[in-house]
Homo-oligomer: A and B are copies of this chain.
Amino acid sequence: MCMSIREKLSRITGLKQTVLCVGLDADAALLPEGFGHTPGDVVAFNREIINATRHVAAAYKINTAFYEQYGSRGWAALEATRTLLPDDAISIADAKRGDIGNTNNAYARTFYQTLDFDSATVSPYLGFDSIETFLQYPDKLTFALALTSNIGSADFQRLDVGGKPLYRKVIERCCEYRGAGEIGFVVGATHPSDLAEIRSYTKSVLLIPGVGTQGGAPDEVLAANGGESALVNVSRQIIYASSGADFAERARENAEKFAAQLRIIA
């Protein structure tokens, strides 16, 4: 009955035979024809995307930015979307939060209690104590940013600190922890050779965004990941596969295509 989050992930990716994560990052301004432009329309759109992709989605990732830009109405849409996520997919709040002490407790409470996500992303700049708060929740999977998919990732993440890049220092510091929660890392698909190198020193779960619109290739990512536990996120190439009335059909097709490309080799 009682499964760790890592077992749950492994069971889901095994059943669905893919590590595809679908990013529900819809902007109310960009919904297909037939929808209005309110946060409520985003929820209606998400419902159709979820129904069209749930058979091949090992996870859903919700980026809080797209919701909170509409204020409390956006947060209500985030809550409504959370309740639509199926149990047989890992639910990820891509929130990139991080603060200190009591404040950080409030953030962890937000995503792991109030919204009851399986997983959340955190930004490590404040130090390990800001990540540890999230790790105190058993059976939750907390992804710390390590090497992100943007150009600016070189500014600080790749700086040399005592013979290794900062992102490696972040990974190593986090991996010293043994506690209730599970630690994972965000590593962008746009750096496959770095991903391979990162796999030489950690077997932690990786959340890998950047496939699709951002340019990462599924086969290169899978090869670099070497069969370890991971989720690979695709957002726009699924949710915006068509701006016409066939959006859900096209989302299904693209999700199935990416799921097959991101197939687990048993």
A residues lining the B interface (CB < 8 Å): 25, 27, 63, 65-66, 68-76, 78-79, 96-104, 106-107, 109-110, 114-115, 123-130, 145, 148-157, 159-162, 166, 169-170, 173
Contact = CB atoms under 8 A, between A and B. Distances in A.
A38 to B, nearest CB: 14
B169 A110 contact: no
A65 B108 CA distance: 9
A110 B68 contact: yes
A68 B106 CA distance: 8
Contacts of A148: 100, 126-127
Nearest to A127: B152
Contacts of A114: 68-71
A75 B107 CA distance: 13
Given A65-B97, A96-B123, 10 more contacts: A25-B102, A63-B106, A65-B99, A65-B106, A72-B72, A72-B78, A125-B145, A126-B152, A130-B152, A166-B166
A27 B106 contact: yes
A262 B62 CA distance: 42
Contact of A160 (B96, B101, B161): B161
A92 to B, nearest CB: 14
A95 B130 CA distance: 14
A127 B104 CA distance: 22
A212 to B, nearest CB: 13
A106 B152 CA distance: 18
A27 B109 CA distance: 12
Nearest to A109: B69
